[in-house]
Structure 1
């Protein structure tokens, strides 16, 4: 199943610091998920000034339960960066790989 995750960071003064403190762990986790075939696309959400305010991910898991297992261990969740997470199922028709 394909899932779209819109995950918004907190809006308090310490939100960006929380994100950046766990970013290395998040990136390592995403790399592992990508190698396992779960990542279709992923990136940061930014506001009009280009400041990071969250993340958008297109993911492929067998079930919502597997997605929830990932979210429960996601460093941006356990580290308190993401405070508002929306998940929708979707049907990805095209995906283009971009090296980051």
Structure 2
């Protein structure tokens, strides 16, 4: 089965982080049950001093790798996610691409 990389940045309006946090537990619970999701996590905003362990880290989007039969299958998974339906992920900037790696997941 092929792999797909998904880059899903969050909207950047003032309420974006609040919307993310409101549905985060539901999003994580569903993600843990999804066998096609091989790896995923939050992208942090580039404004943090990531070399400083105590720096505040603000979530700014998601990065995921899926193993699925088709682009359409991954698109349906993304569009049914509460981050999509809850207007957390920026629908115009979300990208799904085929992905290959020399190292198996």
TM-score range, shorter chain: 0.7 to 0.9
Change (3 A) 1:93 1:52: same
The equivalent of 1:86 in structure 2 is 95
Provide structure 2 residue ranges, at least 5 long, that are not aligned to the other structure. 49-56
Task: Name the TM-score, length of structure 1 as normaliser.
Answer: 0.85
Supply the RMSD in Å over aligned alpha carbons: 1.3
1:54 aligns with 2:52: no
Structure with bigger strand share is: 1
- Which has more radius of gyration? 2
Query: How many pairs does the alignment contain?
Result: 93
Moved over 3 A (4+): none
Provide structure 1 residue ranges, at least 5 long, that are not aligned to the other structure. none
Task: Name the TM-score, length of structure 2 as normaliser.
Answer: 0.81
